[in-house]
Amino acid sequence: GAGVSQSPSNKVTEKGKDVELRCDPISGHTALYWYRQSLGQGLEFLIYFQGNSAPDKSGLPSDRFSAERTGGSVSTLTIQRTQQEDSAVYLCASSSTGGGDQPQHFGDGTRLSIL
Amino acid sequence: QKEVEQNSGPLSVPEGAIASLNCTYSDRGSQSFFWYRQYSGKSPELIMFIYSNGDKEDGRFTAQLNKASQYVSLLIRDSQPSDSATYLCAVRGSSGDKLTFGTGTRLAVRP
């Protein structure tokens, strides 16, 4: 597609359930990033993929969070045993390479609400 | 000290005025600097990026970078009500490819 696509756009789930968030980057972009934005806060880095490998996963807040990327394209962020503090907008971005001079382009995000 | 700092605002300017948004960063080895605009309920949209000291102009927008003072700014000339949004400063540091974001400055342009 023309831009970064994320699904679902909204997700409401009960505390303790697992959720999967999907990101489809811009075609040909090798670098993919996950961030989250809590209400009124800045963006918090979660994980970075270059191709299918994740050279930087330093932002994952706990072992309940995991992510994978297959075929150098689609990525899935999984949150197990969700907690209320996981409520946020989860944003995915991609760039053509992982190089320092390449801007990141964002999808519309998934708004996750944990009841 | 936060890694990337911005005044949260709101910064209120009249239509047609110049809006000046500022950002400071702590990682002296940072090389790439980005400004994103975020409308309420929407995702960030890239406005400008700058890598070298000095000014970079694109239409009504000018990004300014001073690495010695560790600050980057965004000037918006002839501000329009449609420019009302939160402006996020993002910095790619010396240690990797991730971006570190400030919490954003909310700009309000009064008609």
Q: What is the pLDDT of residues A70-89, one digit of tens each?
A: 888 999 999 999 999 999 99
Contact B109, B79 (CB under 8 A): yes
| Chain B residues within 8 A of A58 when measuring between CB atoms | 98
| Chain A residues within 8 A of B103 when measuring between CB atoms | 41-42
Interface of chain A against chain B, CB under 8 Å? 31, 33, 35, 41-45, 48, 50, 55-56, 58-59, 91, 98-101, 103-109
pLDDT for A80 equals: 98
pLDDT for A41 equals: 77
Q: What is the pLDDT of residues B20-57, one digit of tens each?
A: 999 999 999 898 999 999 998 899 999 999 999 999 99
Q: Tally the residues of chain A.
A: 115
Task: Kindly state the tokens that stand for B71.
Answer: 């600050």
pLDDT-derived band at B1 (thresholds 50, 70, 90) equals low
Cα A48 vs. chain centroid, distance in angstroms? 9
Mean pLDDT value across chain B: 93
Element (H, E) at B60: none
Q: Say if the Cβ atoms of B44 and A48 lie within 8 Å.
A: no
Task: Kindly state the tokens that stand for B37.
Answer: 């605009």
Task: Kindly state the tokens that stand for A16.
Answer: 């303790």
Would the pLDDT of B15 be above 90? yes
Contact B84, B108 (CB under 8 A): yes
pLDDT for A7 equals: 96
